[in-house]
Amino acid sequence: MKRTSIWIMAAALAGAVAACGERRSELPAELTGRWEVQQIAGASLGEGVRIDIAIDAQSGALTGFTGCNDFSAPMTAFERSITIGAVVEAAGECPNPEAATDKERLLRVLPSVQRYARHGKSLELLGPASGADALLRLRLADAQ
């Protein structure tokens, strides 16, 4: 009898753990929108380069354009901490060397993002160290 109740409790615990693993934490709603990248690691984008990022807080999806091709990555959040998962890129060629450079810079900093700060229409994606410069400075794109 005692062994049966231990197995029942173990099965219930395993089910609860599995259910928690499937649940995704919704990102803060203030992150939702289409954002234009203004700076990467403190440097402006190359002449004529456009990089944008769209965040869907409800689904935890980050999508965008690297300046060369489309990309997507999952995002998770806990309080003011965020994590960007593995980036998946569509195939494509960069139109010029400036776009190629900015694409590589973007892809290097995305995995390092751990925090964010929103100031009106500006969003800073930050690394782990407080007081450090933003890894990405974004500006909310005007709704068309």
Domain ranges of the chain: 27-140
For the cut 80, the answer to whether the pLDDT of residue 48 exceeds it is: yes
CA atoms of 17 and 75, how far apart (whole Å):
21
User: Residue 64's pLDDT is what?
Assistant: 97
Residue of 25 and 37 predicted with greater confidence: 37
The CATH class given to the 27-140 domain equals: mainly beta
